[in-house]
Amino acid sequence: EIVCGSMFSGKTEELLRRVKRARLARQPVQLFKPKVDDRYDAVKVVTHEGVNADALPVATSEELVGSVSPDTAVVGIDEVQFFDVSIVRAVEGLANRGVRVIAAGLDQDYEGHPFGPVPALMAIAEYVTKLHAVCARCGAEACRSQRLVAAEGQLFVGGSAAYEARCRACFVAEAVAG
């Protein structure tokens, strides 16, 4: 399962909702996040609304797979866009042995381009949920993450102050647009 969309679209909230339901069903769940994302908390997955759950930070997809316990039924992964493309085979391996994998992440980077492994994950997933935020400019459904500060590289991780959600019409492809 892939939960994707722009920033502020509620991806982490939806991931944690599914994880909570699995726990209510007494299914062993493990939650992971990439080590690169240290915006809010080193261990917890935290939504912009402050809802959180314990997550194990892993540096690579190999470390993620190696950390999955034999009895784990559900694996949740937040900010999956920050893994390299090897995450695709890693989650496919887990899914092939019967693990339910729920991965949440950005589908597009700040330039509106497909983000890292997410397009490939969307292609092999049984279920894709694309969420929308609200455009900060006009209030329409937003599908893009507008970067508001100058920074180098796709992997720049900013807090909510560095980005805002924009619709296709209000989005400006240049790195800085205020």
Shortest reach from residue 135's CB to Zn ion, in Å = 3
- Is residue 167 close enough to count as binding Zn ion by CB under 5 A? yes
Stretch that binds Zn ion, among 9-17, 108-116, 150-158, 169-177 (CB under 5 A): 169-177
Catalytic status, residue 79: yes
Alpha-carbon distance of 86 to 91, in angstroms, equals 9
Measured CA distances, 65 to 62, 111, 124, 162, 163 (Å): 5, 31, 18, 32, 31
4: helix, strand or coil: strand
Q: How many residues lie near Zn ion (CB under 5 A)?
A: 6
Angle, CA of 114, 118 and 123, to the nearest 5°: 105
Exactly one of 1, 14, 79, 164 is catalytic; name it.
79
Shortest reach from residue 140's CB to Zn ion, in Å = 5
What are the tokens at 93? 């391996």
Binding mask 110-139 for Zn ion (x = CB under 5 A): -------------------------x-xx-
Alpha-carbon distance of 23 to 65, in angstroms, equals 20
**Residue numbers at the binding site for Zn ion (CB under 5 A):** 135, 137-138, 140, 167, 170
Q: Which residues are catalytic?
A: 79
